[in-house]
Structures are given as C-alpha cells and as structure tokens.
Amino acid sequence: MKKILLVCAAGMSTSMLVKRMIEHATTVNIEVDINAFAIAEAKGKIKNNEADVILLGPQVRFQKSEIEAVAQGKIPVAVIDMKDYGAMNGKSVLDFAMKLLEE
C-alpha cells in the first residue's frame, strides 16, 4: 500500500482534500494510505520513511526545498496545483500523486 503525505500550514485545510482523495481511491480500487499533517509534524513522518510521495499545499510551496532536504531525494516532493487544491479535486490530486509514484 502506497503512502501519500499531504502537507499544509496547520494540517487542517487538507483534511477535506484527503477525504475526497480516499473516496476516489475507493471508487477506482486503489489501495493507498493518505494523511495530512502540519509542516512540523510532516518532517518527522518523512524522517521515519512514513511516505512514498509528499504533496505540499500551495500555501506552503515556499518550503518545498526544505522538505526535499528532509526527504534526501528518496521521496518525490511536489506542490499540489492551486486550482485542484481550491476546488478540493480529490480525483485530480490522487492521479497526480499516482503519476509521481510511477516516476
């Protein structure tokens, strides 16, 4: 099971997106573990290898290089598209995460 880690400023704004991503994953029979955390807590999860892909909310995109440093090139890190994030488009964000996992 692949683990997708969403990161935002406080971990709250991504909770709805996580719910929609899980709903879509269930619909298309993709087994994933998706969680959202505030940036500080996410760093610990990354250090403990608790993610296969890391997606940053647009509001923390400026911290991408910092998260990449913690991931040490072992885990893909990307910023969620602002339109998909604003629309809480779980399908599109899940598809984006799965594409990153294939690379």
Q: What residues are annotated to the active site?
A: 8
Q: How far apart are CA 101 and CA 62, in angstroms?
A: 22
Instruction: For residue 47, give Cα distances in angstroms to 9, 83, 93.
Output: 18, 29, 23
